[in-house]
Amino acid sequence: MSNAATAIKAKPAESKFRRFLRENKTGWGFLAPFMILFLVFTVVPVFVAMGLSFTNYNMIQTPDFTGVQNYKLLFLEDDTFITAVSNTLLFACIIGPAGYIMSFVMAWFISLCKHGRGPLALAFYAPSLTSGTAMSIIWLVIFSGDRTGYLNHILIKIGLVSDPILWTKDPQWILPVVVIISAWMSMGTGFLVFLAGLQNIDPELYEAGKVDGIRHPIQQLFYITLPLMKPQLLFGAINSIVNSLAVFDVAVAVAGFPSPNYSAHTIVAHLYDYAFTRFSMGYASAIAMFLFVFSFTLSRICMRIFRSDD
Amino acid sequence: MSKEKNNKSLNGAGVKPQKIRRRRVKIKPGKVILYFLVGCLLVFTAFPMVAMICRAFMPLSELYIYPPQIFVRHPTLSNFSELLTSLNSSTVPFTRYVFNSLWVTIVTVFLSVVICSMGAYGMVKHKPVGAATIFTIVIAALSFSSHVTKIPNYMVVSGMGLINTYAALIVPSLATAYNFFLVKQFAEQLPDSLLEAARIDGAKEFRIFWTIAMPLLKPAWSTLAVFSFVSNWNDSFSPLVYITSDAMKTLPLALQTMAGGAGVVARSGTVGAATLLTTAPTIIVYTIMRGRVMQTMTYSGIKS
C-alpha cells in the first residue's frame, strides 16, 4: 500500500486502469499458479461435467445434446443406480454421524486426559492414515469366509454360529462388512480438527463457567465447549459428508467390482463403471452431477446448522 | 463467546466462595462407562493395525496355522527379503512400485506446498481484487469430492497425452481446496509489521515471501505436507483412472494385484510385508510432524 502511494505522487498522470493493475499485480502473481490449476482441474470441470450431463458423449465422437435424457434414464430406469444411491446413503448415514460423533468423543476424552495424549491420539487416528486398499487385505483375513478368519473363529469358539459365515461373498453380509471397515477408516475425519479446537479453548472460560455453576464436564461440554467450537465442528462435518459419500476403494477391495448382486455398489462405483469402463461420459457426468448437488446441498445445510454468530 | 463473558460480569460480584471446594476422588459410574467405551473403541481401531504388523513378520507356518494367531511367535524378516528379491524376477519388481509411489507423492507434496502457500500468502497479505470471491469458491470446493470432476480431468489429461505418466498423477492433485484453505486460515495471523519492515529495506516481493513468510508459515505448510502425503500416497482412484500400464502403478493398486485382486483373502507372507510397507510411511510421517499439525488445525474452523 505504502509504495503504491509514493508512486502515485511521482506520476500523477497514471491512468486508473494502470494503477488498478499495479496494485493487484503482486497478489495476482502469487495466486496465479494456484488459480490456474484450481480453475482447470476443479472449477471449470464442475461446469464441463454439468454440460456433458445433458449430452451423449463417448470420448471419440463430438457430444450430441440429448436434453434431460440421461437424468431420465438415471432416475427412472437404472435400477443399479438406485441400489448405488441407497447403499451410499446407508453408508453415509452410519459412517458420517458415527465417525463424526466418535471423533468428537475421542478428542474430548483425550483433551481431558492429563497423560498419554500423544499415544492415545495416534492409536485412534492411525487408521485414517492408512490406505483403504492396503488395509482391506488385513480386513479380508479378519472377515475370511472359512474357519481361519479371525471373526469366524471367535464366533464359532463362543458358539454364536456353528458354520463359518461367508462375510464377503454373501450379499446379505457384504454391506455391513464394508460399513464396519469404512467406519474404522473414517473415525479420524475431523478428529484432529476437534482435538486442536478443544486444546485451544481458553481455560479461563471454564473457570468463569464454574462461577456460574457449570461444573460437570458434560455441562461444560454443552454450554462452553460446543458453542465455541462451531467453526471446527462445521469443518469436520463437511469433511465427514464428503468422505462418507465417496466410499469406493474399500467396497471394491473387499467385495470386488462389481460386487455380488451389486450389494456394495456405491455412487462412485457407478460413476467409475460408466465413465471409465463403458466410456459413456455423458451418462457418467449425470451421476457426477447427482453426487455434486447432493454433497453440496448437505454441506450448505451444515453451514446453516453451525452458523457462527460473531 | 459474548454470552459467557456477560454472565461472568453479571454474576462476578455474587460469587459464593463456599461452592468452590475440592471434590473427593471417587469412582463414578459415568466415568467407568466412558473408560469402557473408549477402551472398546481403541481395541477396534488398534486390532487390525496390530494384526497387520504381526502378519508381516509371521513365518509361513504361523500364517496358515489353525486356530488363527493374532500375535507373532517367531518373528522373521524372510517375508521382506522374499518380497524384495523373488519378485524381482517377475516383470515389474516391487521396488518399482515403491519408487512410483515415492516419486509421485514427494513431487506432489513439494509442488503443492509451494503453490498453495504462495496463493494463500498472496490472498491474505496482498488482498488483490477478487480475493474474497476466490475464497468463497475454495470453501464451496471443500464440499464435494474429487470424483465429481474426474471425467473432465480425464479429458484434459488424455488430451495432453499424459495417460500413463507420472504427470497424470501429479498435476491434477496440486491445487487442492483443502490444502489452500489450511494455509490461508493460518496465514491470517502473520504479523504485517515484519513483512512491511522487509519491504522498506527494499526486498523484492518474492524474496519477502520466500525468506520471511515461508518460515513463519512452517506449521501450516508442514501440515499441508502431511495431509497431501497421506492422501496422495493412499490414492487409488487416480491411478485407476489415469494409469493402465503395470510399470506405472503406485503401491495401493500394485498391492491389490499382488494379493490376487479384489475380494481375495491373501495369506502369503510377502503380501503381509507389502501391506506393512504400504501403510507405514504415512503413519511415520504423521508421527514426526504431529506437533505442527496440531498447531495448524487450531485455525481450521470455518465461520459461516
Give the model's pLDDT for residue B81. 86
B158 vs A146: which has the higher pLDDT: B158
Q: Which helix (H) or strand (E) holds B246?
A: none
Percent of chain A with pLDDT over 90: 26
Chain A, chain B: beta-carbon pairs less than 8 Å apart: 352
Stated as kind and residue range, the H or E segment containing A233 is helix A230-245
Q: What is the DSSP letter of A274?
A: I
Q: Does B280 touch chain A (CB under 8 A)?
A: no
Q: Say yes or no to pLDDT of B74 above 80.
A: yes
Cβ contact A245:A296 at 8 Å: no
A-chain CB neighbours of B301 within 8 Å are: 193, 197, 229-235
- Looking at the predicted structure, is the pLDDT value of residue B21 above 80? no
pLDDT at A45: 95
DSSP at A268: H
Alpha helices in chain B, H assignment, sequence order: 2-11, 29-56, 60-63, 78-85, 94-126, 131-142, 150-159, 166-170, 177-187, 192-200, 205-208, 214-216, 218-234, 237-242, 251-258, 269-297
pLDDT of residue A1: 46
Position A180 pLDDT exceeds 50:
yes
Nearest CA in chain B to A290: B148
- Rounded Cα distance between A193 and B242, Å, is 32
The model's confidence at residue A148, banded by pLDDT at 50, 70 and 90, is confident
CA angle B162, B167, B168 (to 5 degrees): 55
Asked if the interface predicted TM-score (ipTM) of this complex is over 0.90, the answer is no
CB contact under 8 A, B279 and A133: no
Give the closest of B34, B38, B119 to A34, CB-based: B119
Length of chain A in residues, anyone? 310
* pLDDT band (50, 70, 90) for residue B17: very low
The whole-angstrom distance between A125's CA and the closest CA on chain B is 8
Q: Which of B142, B144, B161, B151 is nearest to A45 (CA)?
A: B151
φ, ψ for residue B170, nearest 5 deg: -95, -60
3-state class (DSSP) for residue A65: strand
Spell out which residues of chain B touch residue A227, defining contact as CB-CB under 8 Å.
Answer: 1, 3
- Is residue B112's pLDDT more than 90? yes
Whether B3 shows a pLDDT value over 50: the answer reads: no
User: Any chain B CB within 8 A of the CB of A145?
Assistant: yes
Q: What angle do CA A85, A89, A93 make, to 5 degrees?
A: 175
Looking at the complex, does the CB of residue A155 fall below 8 Å from at least one CB of chain B?
A: no
The residue whose grid cell reads 497421506 is B230
Within 8 A by CB and 6+ apart from A279, the residues are: A58, A59
Contact A246 B11 (CB under 8 A): no
- Contacts B208 to A, Cβ<8 Å: none
Which residues in chain B (84-113) have CB-CB distances under 8 A to chain A?
none
pLDDT at B18 over 80: no
CB A127 within 8 A of CB A135: yes
pLDDT for B26 equals 65
A255 touches chain B (CB under 8 A): yes
What average pLDDT does the segment A62-88 reach? 91
Query: Does A206 reach chain B within 8 Å, measured CB to CB?
Result: no
Structure-derived torsion over alpha carbons of residues B221, B226, B231, B233, reported in degrees to the nearest 10: 120
**Under a CB-based contact definition with an 8 Å cutoff, are residues B234 and B251 in contact?**
no
List of residues 6+ apart from B121 with CB closer than 8 A: A30, B183, B187, B209, B213, B217
The secondary structure of residue B68, as a DSSP letter, is P
Smallest Cα–Cα separation from B101: which of B169, B172, B147, B179?
A: B169
Beta carbons within 8 Å of B238's beta carbon, 6+ residues apart:
B168, B169, B172, B173
* Whether residue B75 has a cis bond before it, omega within 30° of 0: no
In angstroms, the Cα distances linking A103 to A107, A192, A201, A250, A304 are 6, 8, 18, 20, 21
Q: Give the pLDDT band of residue B88 (cuts 50, 70, 90).
A: low
Q: What is the DSSP track for A23-54?
A: HHHHHHHHHHHHHHHHIIIIIHHHHHHHHHTT
A264 touches B: beta carbon within 8 Å: no
The pLDDT assigned to A13 comes to 62
Comparing CB atoms, the residue among B7, B119, B151 nearest residue A284 is: B151
For B195-222, how does the pLDDT look when each residue is reduced to its tens digit (9 = 90+)? 888 888 888 888 889 988 999 888 888 8
Q: Residue B143 carries which side chain, given as an amino acid letter?
A: S
Cell numbers that stand for B167 in this block: 504427470
A133 vs B128, B154, B256: nearest CB: B256
Q: Which residues of B touch A257 (CB under 8 A)?
A: 262
- Within chain A, strands assigned E span 55-56, 64-65
Q: Give B186's pLDDT tier (boundaries 50, 70, 90).
A: confident
B15, pLDDT greater than 60: no
A284: pLDDT confidence band, cut at 50, 70 and 90?
A: very high
Whether the CB of A116 is below 8 Å from some CB of chain B: the reply is: no
Res. B91: pLDDT tops 80: no
Average pLDDT, chain A: 86
CA distance B199 to B205: 8
Instruction: Decide if A275 contacts B149 (C-beta within 8 A).
Output: no
For the record, the C-alpha cell of B269 comes out as 507372507
Query: Which residue in the block uniquely carries the three cell numbers 459461516?
Result: B304
Chain B contacts in chain A segment 37-66 (CB below 8 A) = 37-38, 40-46, 48-49, 52, 59
Q: Does A250 touch chain B (CB under 8 A)?
A: no
Mean pLDDT of A216-224: 84
Rounded to the nearest 10 degrees, how much is the dihedral formed by the CA atoms of A89, A90, A91, A96? 80
> Would you place residue B246 in the very low, low, confident or very high pLDDT band (cuts 50, 70, 90)?
confident
Closest Cα of chain A to B89: distance in Å? Answer: 23
Q: pTM score, two decimals?
A: 0.86
Amino acid at A244: S
- B133 close to A (CB below 8 A): no
Report d(CA B101, CA B166) in Å as an integer: 10
A222 touches chain B (CB under 8 A): no
Confidence bin at B12 (pLDDT 50/70/90): very low
Residue B11 in contact with partner chain A when CB distance is under 8 A? yes
In 3D space, the residue among A272, A271, A282 whose CA is nearest the CA of residue A48 turns out to be A282
pLDDT recorded at residue B166: 95
B255/A133 touch (CB, cutoff 8 Å), yes or no: yes
pLDDT computed for residue A310 by the predictor = 53
Within 13 Å of residue A88, how many CA atoms lie on the same side as its CB? 27
Q: What is the pLDDT of residue B9?
A: 41
Q: With an 8 Å Cβ cutoff, are A249 and B252 in contact? A: yes
- Distance, CA of B10 to CA of B30 (rounded, Å): 32
Instruction: Tell me the one-letter amino acid at B182.
Output: L
Do A303 and B304 count as a contact with CB atoms less than 8 A apart?
A: yes
